[in-house]
Amino acid sequence: MRTWTRRGQWLEVSPGKRMSEAEDRDQAAAIWLLETLGIPEKLLKQLKANQGMEWKGDRLRLALFGAQPAGIEPVWRELDILYEDDFCLVVHKPAGMNIHPDGRKGEVEPTLDHAVAAHYQMQGEDVAVRHIHRLDQYTSGPVLYAKNDFAQLKLDEDMRHKRIARSYAAFVQGKVSSGLKVIDLPIGKDRHHKQRRRVSPTGQQAVTHVRVGEVYRNSSLVHLELETGRTHQIRVHLSHMGHPLLGDALYGGSTAWIARQALHGERLAFTHPFTGERIEIADPWPTDLQRLYEKLSSVK
């Protein structure tokens, strides 16, 4: 596994004696950065143009940690940090909190981005707040953030190529058949309801993988993996199959058992942008879903 040392704005690595003693070690380093480290060509050009690449003995230094404005006002809130290093942050998003401001005028409720900005500030880090993916307001689970340009470029590319895996747990109405493995139905806007989405032949491709966990009297626990990331994808797909999420009134789910959609991101897996290591983050069920599980399990 590749290792690094951070010294202020500089990342230091040892690319090897063969490179550090090469006749044109800058050119050798550039090839190594592109082909082995996978640094985007655009970023490499920026580093060269801004004197952000230099040698210190046999160690290559890259200015990857320059100070950047947060881009959003810090608002303190206790956060559950699931993973953090110089490149990435994974934080638990509680149900009821938006990830970012919705753009509407008037008083804005603090979002996860506001809280992350405060987290960086408290650590004395001048880091731009950049989430890589999103969750619905009333869905809980882990959210991945990039802490520098290099990490953002790599993780954004991984999102585009579906290399970031997201697994969810959901409690739904009805007894889900163990034969339901994949829901491959396109999703588009609902022209009759601004907030809703619906299965539509003219919509965008959407694929959800389903595994039935437990079946209760009139409900089920299912585990889901997203192959695509359409707005409200899990909620739309399960509702269309006759199994709306418990608590999801927008898509026909009963609110008798829980007041919010019973959906939680229980696992996130991504490739570390620098080391190439596969990182898997588990996010335990929040208290309200644990209680819901206990209630449903006790009903005979």
Q: How far apart are CA 202 and CA 43, in angstroms?
A: 38
Contact 130/87 with Cβ under 8 angstroms?
no
Q: Return the beta strands (E) in 129-261 as ranges.
A: 130-131, 141-146, 165-173, 182-184, 187-189, 197-199, 207-215, 219-226
Nearest residue to 94 via CA among 152, 48, 135: 135
Q: Which residue matches tokens 């704005």?
A: 9
Is residue 136 part of the annotated active site? The answer reads yes
- Kindly state the helix (H) or strand (E) to which residue 92 belongs, with its residue range: strand 88-93
DSSP letters, 228-278, are S--TTHHHHHHHHTT-PBTT-GGGT---SS-SS--EEEEEEEEE-TTT--E
Contact 171/220 with Cβ under 8 angstroms?
yes
Buried b (16+ CB within 10 A) or exposed e, 226-244: bbeebbbbbbbbbbbbebb
H and E: helices and strands count for the chain = 7, 16
Q: What's CA 197's distance to the chain center, in Å? A: 21
- Which candidate in 80, 85, 136, 158 is catalytic? 136
Torsion of CA 144, 196, 263, 162, to 10 degrees: -40
**Cα–Cα distance list, 83 to 25, 45, 144, 145 (Å):** 35, 30, 9, 10
Question: Where in the sequence numbering do the catalytic residues fall?
Answer: 136
